[in-house]
Amino acid sequence: MKRLPSILLGLLIFGCTETSETEVIYLTDKQNDTCNTCAFSLVDYYSINSLDTLPSTYTGTPANGSLNHAKILPPKGKNFFYFDSTSYLKDRAFTHSDIRDIVLNTYANLDVIYPGRIFSIMEASNKKGGKMDPHRTHQNGMSVDFMFPKLKNGVPYHHLDTLGFLHYLLDFDENGRYTKDTTISIDFETSTHHIYLLALEAEKLNYAIEKVLIYTEYKDELFRTTYGKKLKQKGIYFAQYLTPKINNLHDDHYHIDFKAK
């Protein structure tokens, strides 16, 4: 994110649990809200929210839709974790059952290709879909935000990955370098490979990537990579123009909308 725009107005750091630094809550909730679900561990929360095994259904579009029988993403797996515990406990890690499978199958592939590398899922959808501030989309279980994997001096680097919701506020320059420490940068090779694998796994379940939102100034870096070229050949659509506000929000993560074929 280039500046601290209005998204910051929607955030308030609070101490939901004993670890407070990365805990965030939306001001759209009651400011004095206490976290009634904090007694649960994320794994417990995952378990009690995984009882509905019916296939998910959705209505509408990512920008105006709803979701039924949504599935919560696991809080962690062998090579991935959900980025923010408060977001998780506020039911913002739900998605369509098929999209969950695409996401998890892709992580299984990544684990073989990049052993030891850890990836992070950012926000998905609400349990019932619908509006999820401050996102404009994410309404029907077809949208997922993925944290950019990063490098420091060319070596995989994960220390910024545990900031929780504050990760959305990190600021990278037009070449993907972290502005507070330019030895840290976006790993475009791994990111584009991840997107390519998501596209392949989506095809297996009769889905496709409808759209990728990434900070548009990254275009040269993206399509210079091995898998960026393949994504281009495959015709994966990257949004060409975003409003400055939306564009600035997408320098730390890639947003993907899926669609049923």
Residues that bind Zn ion (CB under 5 A): 145, 255
**Closest distance of CB 176 from Zn ion, Å:** 18
Q: CA 211, CA 175: separation in Å to the nearest integer?
A: 22
CB of 145 to Zn ion, least distance (A): 4
Are 88 and 127 a contacting pair, CB within 8 Å? Answer: no
Return the number of the residue (231 or 249) whose C-beta is nearest Zn ion.
Answer: 249
Burial class of residue 52 in the structure, from the number of CB atoms within 10 Å of its CB (0-12 exposed, 13-18 middle, 19+ buried) = middle
Of 63 and 208, which has the nearer Cβ to Zn ion? 63
| Minimum distance from residue 40 beta carbon to Zn ion (Å) | 25
For Zn ion, which is the closer residue by CB, 25 or 142?
A: 142
Q: In angstroms, rounded to a whole number, what is the distance separating the alpha carbons of residues 29 and 36? A: 13
Q: CA-CA distance, 172 to 88, in Å (whole number)? A: 25
Nearer residue to Zn ion within complex by CB, 127 or 138: 138
Minimum distance from residue 23 beta carbon to Zn ion (Å) = 21
Residue 93 CA to residue 85 CA, distance in Å, equals 10
Between 91 and 145, name the residue whose CB sits nearer to Zn ion: 145
Which residue reads 């949504």 in tokens? 70
Give me the residue whose beta carbon is nearest to Zn ion: 255
We find the least distance from the C-beta atom of residue 76 to Zn ion, in angstroms, to be 20
Peptide bond into 115 cis (omega under 30): no
